[in-house]
């Protein structure tokens, strides 16, 4: 039975191979990109920072180029023009939107890396204009609100669509306002959603799995806001995001009437991006404080042990024991 299950899993994984990618270019980049995401997230949790730095850090530059190559290499695949109404699968409009919005985040990351983050609005607005042109040519409903739902999720379709739409809007605010780590987190759901659509097409997961994992990827940036950013920074972001949501959803304002004035204001506001391209983080400060406290505790323990050694000079065994404890 176990061998049969392993064989089934391996057979499904083998479905990911396509004759369009005979050189394993896209798949290879995808594997490396997933490992890179895992490394950055692990570093964030354990160290309070993903480790991104500004120019001339080579590792950060290679990371940006890696994810750019991953998105652009998707163009080697021929996707259907018409979307599938029964399951969430890749189609031309979604493919091009995914590439465009991924390049939005990556372009902003590159500007932050080069110290030109004040000009990020040019990248953001340009990408949204390109996305609008793609929609005009390939439009078939809305990319997310018309995504097929399994029957179990149909009663919650309104709430899910509101969450998806709000998250997309907050993503725009994030790439306009936040640092390189936050923009990288915004990139993750974009590339992850495209990967999940491929898994659905290959019959590895179903519609429920797609929505569940995509929702999880959207929640990650909110968790970052809750645990890593300072409260005033979060409050500022929420004020901008809620205002933009009201203007967009309630008053039906054009997206450009929202983003262009906001971008103009942000250009003249003092920068809140640190020298390494990151926003100030509560988590990293807490970790640094904990490490400092631990070092102080260790030094105090060594001092106390040294005093004990002085009191027990006449006991060679105790002297040897305490010395070995201090070294360890």
Q: What is the pLDDT of residues 206-241, one digit of tens each?
A: 999 999 999 999 999 999 999 998 888 899 899 999
- Examine the pLDDT at 80 and tell me if it is beyond 70: yes
Closest CA to 167 of 259, 243, 241, 79: 241
Residue 12 pLDDT grade (very low, low, confident, very high; cuts 50, 70, 90): low
Residue 86 pLDDT grade (very low, low, confident, very high; cuts 50, 70, 90): confident
Closest CA to 100 of 131, 132, 64: 131
Mean pLDDT value across residues 254-259: 94
CB contact set of 321 (below 8 Å; sequence gap of 6+): none
Residue with the larger pLDDT of the pair 231 and 12? 231
CB atoms within 10 A of CB 236: 14
Which tens digits make up the pLDDT trace of 21-47?
777 889 999 999 999 999 999 999 999
Could you please report the per-residue DSSP string of 153-200? Answer: GGGGHHHHHHHHHHHHHHHHHHHHHS-HHHHHHHHHHHHHHHHHHHHH
Q: What is the pLDDT of residue 24?
A: 84
Distance CA 225, CA 38 (A): 19
Give the whole-number percent of the chain exceeding pLDDT 70: 76
Residue 6 pLDDT grade (very low, low, confident, very high; cuts 50, 70, 90): low
CA dihedral 251→252→257→259, nearest 10 degrees, is 100
CB contact set of 75 (below 8 Å; sequence gap of 6+): 99
User: Considering the entire predicted model, what is its pTM?
Assistant: 0.82
Distance CA 164, CA 158 (A): 10
CB contact set of 245 (below 8 Å; sequence gap of 6+): 166, 169
Distance CA 173, CA 168 (A): 9
Mean pLDDT value across residues 157-176: 94
Crossing angle of helices 58-73 and 25-47, rounded to 10°: 140
What are the domain boundaries of the chain? 2-268, 282-327
Which tens digits make up the pLDDT trace of 102-151?
999 999 999 999 999 999 999 999 999 999 999 999 988 888 888 999 99
93: tokens are 């409009």
Mean pLDDT value across residues 59-77: 96
Distance CA 193, CA 195 (A): 5
Residue with the larger pLDDT of the pair 201 and 192? 192
Q: Identify whether 56 is preceded by a cis peptide bond (ω within 30 of 0).
A: yes
Q: Which range among 190-194, 231-235, 288-292 shows the weakest confidence by mean pLDDT?
A: 288-292
- Examine the pLDDT at 167 and tell me if it is beyond 80: yes
Instruction: Give the per-residue SS3 of 67-121.
Output: HHHHHHHHHHCCCCCCCCCCCCCCCHHHHHHHHHHHHHHHHHHHHHHCCCHHHHH
Closest CA to 214 of 194, 198, 230, 233: 194
Residue 312 pLDDT grade (very low, low, confident, very high; cuts 50, 70, 90): very low
What are the phi and psi torsion angles at 59 (to 5°)?
A: -65, -40
Mean pLDDT value across residues 242-268: 92
Mean pLDDT value across residues 276-294: 54
């Amino acid at each position: 039975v176990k061998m049969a299950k392993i064989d089934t899993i391996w057979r499904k994984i083998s479905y990911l191979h396509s004759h369009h990618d005979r050189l394993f270019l896209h798949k290879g980049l995808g594997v490396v990109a997933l490992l890179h995401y895992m490394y950055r997230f692990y570093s964030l949790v354990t160290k309070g920072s993903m480790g991104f730095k500004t120019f001339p850090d080579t590792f950060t530059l290679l990371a940006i180029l890696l994810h750019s190559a991953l998105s652009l290499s998707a163009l080697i695949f021929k996707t259907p023009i018409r979307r599938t109404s029964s399951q969430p699968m890749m189609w031309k409009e979604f493919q091009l939107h995914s590439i465009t919005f991924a390049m939005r985040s990556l372009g902003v990351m590159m500007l932050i890396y080069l110290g030109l983050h004040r000009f990020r609005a040019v990248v953001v607005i340009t990408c949204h204009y390109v996305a609008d042109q793609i929609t005009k040519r390939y439009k078939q409903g809305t990319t997310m609100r018309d995504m097929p739902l399994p029957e179990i999720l149909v009663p919650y379709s309104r709430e899910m669509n509101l969450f998806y739409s709000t998250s997309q809007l907050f993503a725009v605010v994030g790439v306009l306002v936040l640092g390189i780590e936050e923009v990288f987190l915004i990139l993750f759901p974009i590339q992850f959603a495209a990967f999940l659509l491929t898994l659905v097409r290959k019959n590895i997961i179903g519609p429920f799995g797609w929505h569940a994992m995509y929702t999880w990827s959207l929640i990650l940036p909110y968790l970052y806001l809750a645990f890593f950013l300072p409260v005033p920074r979060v409050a500022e972001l929420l004020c901008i995001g809620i205002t933009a949501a009201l203007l967009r959803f309630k008053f039906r304002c054009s997206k450009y009437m929202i983003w262009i004035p906001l971008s103009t204001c942000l250009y003249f506001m003092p920068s809140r991006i640190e020298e390494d391209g990151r926003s100030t983080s509560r988590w990293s400060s807490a970790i640094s404080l904990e490490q400092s406290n631990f070092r102080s505790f260790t030094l105090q323990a060594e001092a106390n042990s040294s005093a004990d050694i002085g009191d027990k000079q006449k006991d060679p065994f105790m002297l040897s024991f305490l010395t070995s404890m201090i070294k360890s």
